[in-house]
Amino acid sequence: MCGIIGIIRQSGNVTSDMVAALQRLEYRGYDSAGLSVLNADGQIERRRTSGKVSALLDLTTKHPLSGPVGIAHTRWATHGKPVEQNAHPHTSASVSVVHNGIIENYMALKQTLIAAGHRFDSETDSEVIVHLLEEALRQGHTPSQAMAWAVPQFHGAFAIVAVFAGDPHHLYAAVKGSPLVVGLGEGEGYLASDALAFAPYATRAIYLQDGDLAILSAGHVSITDDTGTPVTRPIVILPPSVAALDRGPYRHFMAKEMDEQPIVTASTLRSFWDPVHETVIMEDAPPRPRRVDIMACGTSYFAGMVGQTWLERAGIPTQVHIASEFRYRPYFADSDTLSLFISQSGETADTLAALKYVHGQGGRSLAIVNVAGSSLHRLAHHTLLTKAGPEIGVASTKAFTTQLMTLAALSLFWQGGGHAEETGELVSIPGHLRHVLNVTAPYHDLAHGIFRHAQSALFIGRGPSYAVALEGALKLKELSYIHAEALAAGELKHGSIALVDEHLPVVALAPTDALFEKTASNIEEIAARQGQLIILTDRQGAPRLQRFAHTLITLPETTPLSMPLIYTLPLQLLAYHVALARGTDIDQPRNLAKSVTVE
């Protein structure tokens, strides 16, 4: 978590550009922010504040500072409360540092440094970096020697950027297990957690690799690897993406991103489409495997659960694993199994650790990832890129539906491309999504009705609609802070039905699929206990279920391939409208960060 930006120019003042860059990185964390610049005398000046980057903007407007070189940080707290004292940069007389990741051995280092006379001001693990660098300077090292001496002493994951007083021509960086990308502009340079941060200024980028130390001057970078050997890393040209950072006429990025789903699911499908034969073609996918293991976290894990149902329909035995669990279990690679990693950001620490674990055992990997150039994209043996574009709202929406589109297409590709009926189903999905998005009144009414003061809610479904129910419950929790739980509908009577009373909203996903009658029976059981049922079904199911419903939402007829995408949208809309009614922070819900780069 945490977003880092460093800017080095020959002249001028980098403060406002650093603040703007932090705003683009705020998806990585937003509980405190700060920056340091080297002023005209080459001395470090710093501003820090708790709260969002907007608070830092206010602070630097009220108390300006100026210099052509600086570092800045937006934090998601791991060690220490989100207060100013723990905000980055951490600074001594000679060094200022921003850090993303966790220094696992910070306690041992801290004790040694305290014994050597260093005084600590914060509760963070990151502050040891400053003191160890300061210690190196005390011992007579130059800044680059100090980095080379100190960095190997840190255990854990980190991206570090430092400035040294009296050295206004360099930014210093170190990377291990957390992303850091160099941006090369005309006579200026950038270091950031995500290239999005410097997208308006630089289109040439270098992704630093684990073990790299980098020294950046205005327009030049020198890199050494973990053996201290100078290396050249490839320069990539970044795609234009800044437009996506504009909210346009929408009140929230989430609203914009939900609305983009018909377009981005269509673009995703188009990138896997053979227009001549009207089938799915995935040049970047490996051949059909005998077995698949899917690894992911959060929403991407739920996409994996849906994907499992499609791959199994295609005759491929598939297991889905929560990446944070998988990485600590015994794993026995076999050459018949392909490991499939799903991630919007491509930077989720647990998903990356699972990938490295699989690779370490000799396993093969395929990634479905949204961010081109991300760690997952660079590390996986094969990658399928989703075309969601930058997703800024912390709650995943279009990333999820493009992951689903990719998984659906992959299941057809591994069946030989899919026959006309199935590919036709995929092609029709974006149009159905537009239709669902056009109807918002029921969600507004529910938000101002039974969800207005609800303490808790249940979501139920069977098969793939259980996976969609899980995603619906997660959306409601993270956006509205209402406790929500999703259950396989058949599990309800094994305990959780005790929760049902006349106050409990229960969202039931009941497409008329092979399990419709089973779900209908569960709906009746809830109705018999006065649960407030919000039923999602289609025209065929509506007459059967209408009498049990507090609210019945009629969706287009679906097939196993289209159902998960189409039934996801009402759940996103519900969570969005409930959050709107409750006045929560929709794009940046409390305690969260978009990209979870710590475990």
Residue of 36, 178, 193, 343 that binds ligand M6R (CB under 6 A): 343
Q: Name, in order, each residue with C-beta under 8 angstroms of 563's C-beta and a sequence gap of 6 or more.
A: 464, 465, 468, 511, 513
Contact status: 562 vs ligand M6R (CB under 6 A): no
Contact status: 96 vs ligand M6R (CB under 6 A): no
Burial class of 403 by CB neighbour count within 10 A (0 to 12, 13 to 18, 19+):
buried
With contacts defined by CB under 6 A, how many residues of the chain interact with ligand M6R? 16
Over the window 471 to 510, marking each residue x when it contacts ligand M6R by CB under 6 A and - when it does not, the resulting string is ---x---x--------------------------------
Contact status: 339 vs ligand M6R (CB under 6 A): no
3-state SS class at 192: strand
Integer Cα distance of 253 and 227 in angstroms = 43
Closer to ligand M6R at the Cβ: 159 or 394? 394
Write down the residue that tokens 């490839």 correspond to.
Answer: 234
Instruction: Select the residue whose beta carbon is closest to ligand M6R and give its number.
Output: 298
Integer Cα distance of 436 and 166 in angstroms = 60
| Contact region with ligand M6R (CB under 6 A), list: 136-144, 341-349, 506-514, 551-559 | 341-349
Task: Tell the smallest beta-carbon distance from residue 37 to ligand M6R (Å).
Answer: 32
Residue of 49, 345, 406, 572 that binds ligand M6R (CB under 6 A): 345
Closer to ligand M6R at the Cβ: 76 or 106? 76
Closer to ligand M6R at the Cβ: 471 or 538? 471
Contact status: 354 vs ligand M6R (CB under 6 A): no
DSSP characters for 94-120?
A: SEEEEEEEEETTHHHHHHHHHHTT---
Task: Please check whether residue 504 is in contact with residue 560, taking contact to mean a CB–CB distance below 8 angstroms.
Answer: no
Contact status: 415 vs ligand M6R (CB under 6 A): no
Locate the DSSP E strands across 265-336: 273-274, 279-280, 291-296, 318-322
Write down the residue that tokens 């961010």 correspond to.
Answer: 371
- Burial track 450-460 (b if 16+ CB lie within 10 A, e otherwise): bbeebeebbbb
Task: Tell the smallest beta-carbon distance from residue 73 to ligand M6R (Å).
Answer: 20
3-state SS class at 309: helix
Integer Cα distance of 106 and 14 in angstroms = 31
Residue of 178, 348, 411, 572 that binds ligand M6R (CB under 6 A): 348
Closer to ligand M6R at the Cβ: 29 or 560? 29
Query: Mind telling me the catalytic residues?
Result: 2, 594
Task: Tell the smallest beta-carbon distance from residue 345 to ligand M6R (Å).
Answer: 3
Residue of 271, 308, 344, 423 that binds ligand M6R (CB under 6 A): 344
Closer to ligand M6R at the Cβ: 129 or 355? 355
Closer to ligand M6R at the Cβ: 113 or 571? 571
Integer Cα distance of 350 and 356 in angstroms = 10
Q: Name, in order, each residue with C-beta under 8 angstroms of 572's C-beta and a sequence gap of 6 or more.
A: 258, 395, 397, 472, 475
Closer to ligand M6R at the Cβ: 343 or 558? 343
Closer to ligand M6R at the Cβ: 100 or 415? 100
Task: Tell the smallest beta-carbon distance from residue 390 to ligand M6R (Å).
Answer: 12
| Contact region with ligand M6R (CB under 6 A), list: 129-137, 170-178, 273-281, 339-347 | 339-347
CA distances from 433 to 8, 252, 367, 395 (A): 45, 19, 25, 18
Q: Name, in order, each residue with C-beta under 8 angstroms of 491's C-beta and a sequence gap of 6 or more.
A: none
User: Can you say how many angstroms the Cα of residue 572 is from the centroid of all Cα atoms in its chain?
Assistant: 17
Contact status: 396 vs ligand M6R (CB under 6 A): yes
β-bridge pairing 483-488 and 456-461:
parallel
Over the window 265 to 304, marking each residue x when it contacts ligand M6R by CB under 6 A and - when it does not, the resulting string is --------------------------------xxxx----
Residue of 351, 375, 383, 465 that binds ligand M6R (CB under 6 A): 351
Reading the block at residue 417, the tokens are 């491309």
**Given CA atoms 507, 511, 512, 515 in this order, what sign does their dihedral have?**
negative
Contact status: 193 vs ligand M6R (CB under 6 A): no
Contact status: 74 vs ligand M6R (CB under 6 A): no
* Interacting residue ranges for ligand M6R, rule: CB under 6 A: 297-300, 343-345, 348, 351, 394-396, 474, 478, 595-596
